[in-house]
């Protein structure tokens, strides 16, 4: 991830940490997987648009967001199969 602060918001690390916290929030992910996934995608795009991350990092964050959605769907399928 970019370490330079040239042309970036006042505290890019805080923005990235917030995105990572959203990614780790399993209760929000399980409660509303689609909405949570969309928020992760929007957040990742904002980090890229604000030059906090580069295009390679954007791809990584998008893959992580997709992985979180897949996790939530699998979890829901497992819960439903146990009932």
Q: What residue ranges do the domains of the chain occupy? A: 12-82
Residue 10 has pLDDT above 90, yes or no: no
Inter-CA distances, 77 with 13, 27, 33, 36, 51, Å? 35, 16, 13, 18, 37
pTM: 0.81
Q: How does residue 27 score in pLDDT terms, banded at 50, 70 and 90?
A: very high
Give the model's pLDDT for residue 82. Answer: 67
**CA-CA distance, 69 to 83, in Å (whole number)?**
22
């Amino acid at each position: 991830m970019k370490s330079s602060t040239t042309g970036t918001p006042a505290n890019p690390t805080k923005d990235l940490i917030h995105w990572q916290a959203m990614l780790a929030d399993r209760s929000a992910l399980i409660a509303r997987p689609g909405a949570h996934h969309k928020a992760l995608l929007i957040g990742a795009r904002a980090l890229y648009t604000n030059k906090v991350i580069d295009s390679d990092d954007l791809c990584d964050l998008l893959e992580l967001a997709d992985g979180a959605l897949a996790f939530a769907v699998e979890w829901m399928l497992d819960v439903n199969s146990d009932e």
